[in-house]
Amino acid sequence: MAIVLAVGNGASATAAPAQKQEIELLGFGSVLTLDGKPTSIGGVSTMAVFPPSGSHSFTPQAPYWSFGDANGSGAEQINYGIMSEAWGYQISPALRAIIVGNVTENANLYCGASPVHNYGPHNVPSGYQFHGSLSGLQTSCIYRTVVSINFRHANGSGNLNVQWNWRITWVL
């Protein structure tokens, strides 16, 4: 089953109340709040399941994973030669259209519930490609990358929480 999300460019982006849907991309999810209320952009609902359940499994044959929804898109890649990871995430054009000024982003990597790495807070333009990398990873862990992005919009403040769960395997 494929889910296609589209935002037309004929009108400016507006926020609408989020609809509850039981849609989930295994291991990825995001939730957008405007002024403390769960919201969707342009009437396009995002995943209702947050934080996400399950995890994406990387293999030496498939070391790359891309994911996304109406709030933004990202990718994670594993370098098996040095057991490192690199990731990137970018806010969607529809969401960027309502943001005023810079955004404040902070990302953390966890092994289960234990913190592994903080990628540091950033105060950058909303079109910035957030990214990070880390070496010294292990196969005995289900990792969680958790990104929080705070911003202002014309009528107040907003927050986008994004999370993707993944693990490294040696399955051939």
Whole-model pTM?
0.81
Residue at 150 is within a domain:
yes
H/E stretch holding 49 reads none
Q: Is the residue at 17 inside a domain?
A: no
Residue 40 pLDDT grade (very low, low, confident, very high; cuts 50, 70, 90): confident
Mean pLDDT of 50-78: 91
Range(s) of the domain holding residue 55:
25-168
In a domain, 13, yes or no: no
Contact 6, 27 (CB under 8 A): no
**Pairwise CA distance, residues 57 & 94, whole Å:** 30
Query: Which whole number is the average pLDDT over 117-138?
Result: 96
Is 114 a member of any domain?
A: yes
Query: 68, 47 in Cβ contact below 8 A?
Result: no
- Number of structural domains (the chain) is 1
Q: What is the CATH number of the domain that holds 123?
A: 2.60.40
For residue 5 the two structure tokens come to 């999300």
Looking at residue 1, its pLDDT comes to 28
Residues 65 and 56: beta-carbon distance below 8 Å: yes
Residue 64, domain member (yes or no): yes
| pLDDT grade for 35, boundaries at 50, 70 and 90 | very high
30-49 mean pLDDT: 77
| pLDDT higher than threshold 80 for residue 161 | yes
In-domain check, residue 15: no
The answer as to whether 104 is a domain residue is yes
Give the pLDDT confidence score for residue 170 in this predicted structure: 86
pLDDT of residue 54: 79
- The answer to whether position 7 is within a domain reads no
Mean pLDDT of 122-150: 96
